Amino acid sequence: MINIIGLGPGEFDYITKLGEKLIYSSDILIGGKRNLESVEDFKGEKIVLSTNLKEVLEYIKKNLHKNISVIASGDPSIYGIGKYLSNNIDHKNLNIVSGISSLQYIFSKIFVDMNDIYITSSHGKTPDFDYILSHKKVCMVTDDKIGPHKICKEIQKRNLNKVIVVGENLSYDNERITIGKAEEILEVEKFEMNVVVILDEK
């Protein structure tokens, strides 16, 4: 059986009990370097996932009889490896264990409900900001190219009244949550790994 396990936003305490149990009963653990480091006491074989996605998929397909867990940050079904593996592995061999997404985490920190949110990502694409900013409540996972600064400039271009929340390094010791209007967020020189929430001003 192949498990795809969401680790939660970062700090290992956020993993589900089931996820933890399945990880430690696996023979092989596959995941990004940072994620594998978070289970340093795992005794079995570890395979690092980076740009070798196709090779890892072939490896998994050849080893379906083994007890393999693929670990992913947050929830694997939110801009994670869940989609790729679900599209490429027979579902009878797959077990996805959801985790707490960085998106869920930031909403709990700012005491805003997640009802009717629009979830999107800037990873590897040019976002349609007219469409994104037409929503009342947006949460976006970002990359190095399109992050809080670019989002704020797009808000300013359209003269919109939005409140922006930037959640960096969520659940880690160096977590930082910055809340402000576009001009205030633009004053912050640099943001580390982050999600951005965009809300209509009340």
Rule CB under 6 A: choose which of 70, 85, 170, 185 binds ligand SAM: 170
Site for ligand SAM in 77-96 (CB under 6 A): 78-80
Q: How many residues bind ligand SAM (CB under 6 A)?
A: 22
Q: Does 3 bind ligand SAM (CB under 6 A)?
A: no
CB of 145 to ligand SAM, least distance (A): 11
Report the candidate in 25, 35, 67, 30 with the shortest Cα–Cα distance to residue 49.
30
Q: For ligand SAM, which is the closer residue by CB, 78 or 117?
A: 78
Which residue's Cβ has the minimum distance to ligand SAM? Answer: 74
Rule CB under 6 A: choose which of 5, 10, 69, 164 binds ligand SAM: 10
117 touches 84 (CB < 8 A): no
Length of the chain: 202
| Alpha helix positions (H), the chain | 17-24, 33-37, 53-62, 82-88, 102-109, 129-132, 148-157, 182-186
Question: 86 φ, ψ to 5°?
Answer: -65, -35
Residues of this chain that bind ligand SAM (CB under 6 A): 9-10, 73-75, 78-80, 101-103, 141-143, 167-171, 193-195
